[in-house]
């Protein structure tokens, strides 16, 4: 498979059309499960559903029974061409779970397989032709269908961000990076996707969706800076398999049993962006999303707490540290531009979550002097180190 086959192009519609009756048919056909309830979960390009079923013992492997329900994942038309990549996602979830990082578990279908390629048809095809604006955000064709165990908990987005919780996020990212240093899978090789941070220069193909002149100019500055200040230095940086999307929706927390009113991280979700890339990208991505929803402190201090947690387990080399502002800003830009593009194709309010605070955050970060910013973050890290 050529790399370009799974690289999103402007105007390309990849999100599946999946009405409720199709969900019920797929669960019965592939897993012999009868659906009791269906709740759609947020997703950019796939369709994900939290499913509760009538009887769990219909599954071929009794170890797969999940009383909290399951997540039915209908993969977008691009990633459905990359079966080996999906297999890598499954293997990575199992690998991390065995290494003490709770993840959803892939469930075997009645044929003993973890995925199936299914033809999905739009029953209102004639209406699609008459009203492209309504059905234009969905595509029919072959899509990978799979089932995962549902991991209970609260998403990080739903709880107040404390210094301790941000510290835990940093530790989680470092634990994941360290654990994945021992993970090998051919499906991670040559993965070229528009959401990889290394694909930031390709945002120029999508930036036409940003109509505001000031925002457009800011985004172009960030993209050009990434080209000139990050890309030339990548070859000397450390790399490995990464999760690729540690955002506020993909980290689960639960109440801390020992400290009422506090939370501890309890799981990792959404492995749709796993690939082989630089560790500085992984921590920069996490920091970007922690800043966006940080209301309990100055959002420019939030990165220091995340970095302090990360640094406890994996010391951040100077050659990575000096690129942090550039990479964090690039992720902001990537999320804002691609979020706006996805919304233009599929007007789902979820796709604009980043934009609610993101442009303001990016502007504040971009305008703050780099040396002063790094000094600010290093002081926070040093304060934590003194307490060890």
Q: The domain spanning residue 186 has which CATH number?
A: 3.90.1200.10
- Is pLDDT above 50 for 136? no
State whether 53 and 161 are in the same domain: no
The token duo for 215 is: 């925002």
Give the dihedral sign, CA 154/155/157/162.
positive
pLDDT digits (tens, 9 = 90+) for 6-39: 788 887 778 888 888 899 999 999 999 999 999 9
Per-residue pLDDT, averaged over 230-246, amounts to 96
Contact (Cβ atoms closer than 8 angstroms) between residue 147 and residue 188: no
Domain that residue 212 falls in: 154-387
Cα–Cα distance measured from residue 257 to residue 313, given in angstroms and rounded to the nearest whole number = 24
Domain end, chosen from 114, 149, 184, is at 149
State whether 171 and 71 are in the same domain: no
State whether 118 and 177 are in the same domain: no
State whether 109 and 174 are in the same domain: no
Domain end, chosen from 101, 129, 149, is at 149
Per-residue pLDDT, averaged over 201-224, amounts to 97
State whether 180 and 194 are in the same domain: yes
Which pLDDT score, from 0 to 100, does residue 388 have? 67
State whether 346 and 377 are in the same domain: yes
Catalytic site residue from 79, 245, 270, 273? 245
Which residue in 114, 115, 113, 106 sits closest to 64, CA to CA?
A: 106
State whether 313 and 356 are in the same domain: yes
Cα–Cα distance measured from residue 73 to residue 46, given in angstroms and rounded to the nearest whole number = 7
- Is pLDDT above 90 for 365? yes
State whether 173 and 78 are in the same domain: no
Cα distance between the two ends of the chain: 49
Confidence band, pLDDT 50/70/90 cuts, at residue 55: confident
State whether 322 and 220 are in the same domain: yes
Number of domains in the chain: 2
Per-residue pLDDT, averaged over 354-367, amounts to 90
Confidence band, pLDDT 50/70/90 cuts, at residue 58: confident
pLDDT digits (tens, 9 = 90+) for 281-334: 999 999 999 999 888 899 999 999 999 999 999 999 999 999 999 999 999 999
Q: Which residues contact 259 (CB under 8 A, 6 or more apart)?
A: none
Domain end, chosen from 149, 180, 210, is at 149
The token duo for 137 is: 């955000």
The token duo for 72 is: 């039915």
Please tell me the pTM assigned to this model: 0.91
State whether 272 and 126 are in the same domain: no
Which pLDDT score, from 0 to 100, does residue 189 have? 84
State whether 120 and 212 are in the same domain: no
- Average pLDDT value over all residues in the chain: 90
Please state, for a pLDDT cut of 90, what percent of the chain lies above it: 75
| Angle made by CA atoms 254, 256, 257, in degrees to the nearest 5 | 115
pLDDT digits (tens, 9 = 90+) for 150-171: 999 999 999 999 999 999 999 9
3-class secondary structure for the chain? CCHHHHCCCCCCCCCECCCHHHHHHHHHHHHCCCEEEEEEECCCCCEEEEEEECCHHHCCCHHHCCCCCEEEEECCCCHHHCHHHHHHHHHHHHHHHHCCCCCCCEECCCCCCCCEEEEECCCCHHHHHHCHHHHCCCECEEEEEEEEECCCCEEHHHCCCCHHHHHHHHHHHHHHHHHHCCCCCHHHCCCCCCCCHHHHHHHHHCHHHCCCHHHHHHHHHHHHHHHHHCHHHHHHCCEEEECCCCCCCCEEEEECCCCCCCEEEEEECCCCCCEEEEHHHHHHHHHHHHHHCCCCCCCCCHHHHHHHHHHHHCCCCHHHHCCHHHHHHHHHHHHHHHHHHHHHHCCCHHHHHHHHHHHHHHHHHHHCCHHHHHHHHHHHHHHHHHHC
Is 245 a catalytic site residue? yes
State whether 246 and 360 are in the same domain: yes
Q: How many CA atoms lie within 13 A of 340 on its CB side?
A: 21
Confidence band, pLDDT 50/70/90 cuts, at residue 229: very high
């Amino acid at each position: 498979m050529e790399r370009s086959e799974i690289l999103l192009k402007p105007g390309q519609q990849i999100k599946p059309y999946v009405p409720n009756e199709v969900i019920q048919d797929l669960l019965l056909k592939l897993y012999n499960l009868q659906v009791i309830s269906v709740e759609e979960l947020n997703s950019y390009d796939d369709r994900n559903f939290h499913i509760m079923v009538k009887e769990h013992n219909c599954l071929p492997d009794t170890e797969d029974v999940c009383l909290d329900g399951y997540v039915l994942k209908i993969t977008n038309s691009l990633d459905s061409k990359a079966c080996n990549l999906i297999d890598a996602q499954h293997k990575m979830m199992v690998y991390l779970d065995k290494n003490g990082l709770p993840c959803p578990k892939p469930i075997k279908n009645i044929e003993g397989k973890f995925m199936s390629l299914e033809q999905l048809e739009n029953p209102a095809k004639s209406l699609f032709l008459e009203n492209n604006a309504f059905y234009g955000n969905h595509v029919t064709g072959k899509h990978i269908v799979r089932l995962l165990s549902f991991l209970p908990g609260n998403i990080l987005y739903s709880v107040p961000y404390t210094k301790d919780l941000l510290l835990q996020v940093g530790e989680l990212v470092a634990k994941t990076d360290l654990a994945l240093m021992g993970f090998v899978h051919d499906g991670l090789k040559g993965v070229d996707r528009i959401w990889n941070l290394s694909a930031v220069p390709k945002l120029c193909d999508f930036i036409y969706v940003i109509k505001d002149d000031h925002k457009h100019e800011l985004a172009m500055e960030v993209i050009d800076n990434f080209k000139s200040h990050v890309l030339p230095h990548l070859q000397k940086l450390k790399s490995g398999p990464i999760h690729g999307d540690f955002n506020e929706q993909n980290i689960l927390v639960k109440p801390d049993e020992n400290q009422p009113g506090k939370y501890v991280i309890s799981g990792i979700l959404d492995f749709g962006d796993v690939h082989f890339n630089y560790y500085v990208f992984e921590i920069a991505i996490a920091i970007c999303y922690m800043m966006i929803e940080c209301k309990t402190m100055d959002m420019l201090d939030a990165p220091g707490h995340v970095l302090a947690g990360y640094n406890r387990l994996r010391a951040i080399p100077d050659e990575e540290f000096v690129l942090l502002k550039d990479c964090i800003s690039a992720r902001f830009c990537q999320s804002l531009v691609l979020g706006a593009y996805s919304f233009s194709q599929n007007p789902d309010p979820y796709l604009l979550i980043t934009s609610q605070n993101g442009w303001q955050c990016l502007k504040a970060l971009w305008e703050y002097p780099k040396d002063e910013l790094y000094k600010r973050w290093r002081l926070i890290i040093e304060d934590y180190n003194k307490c060890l």
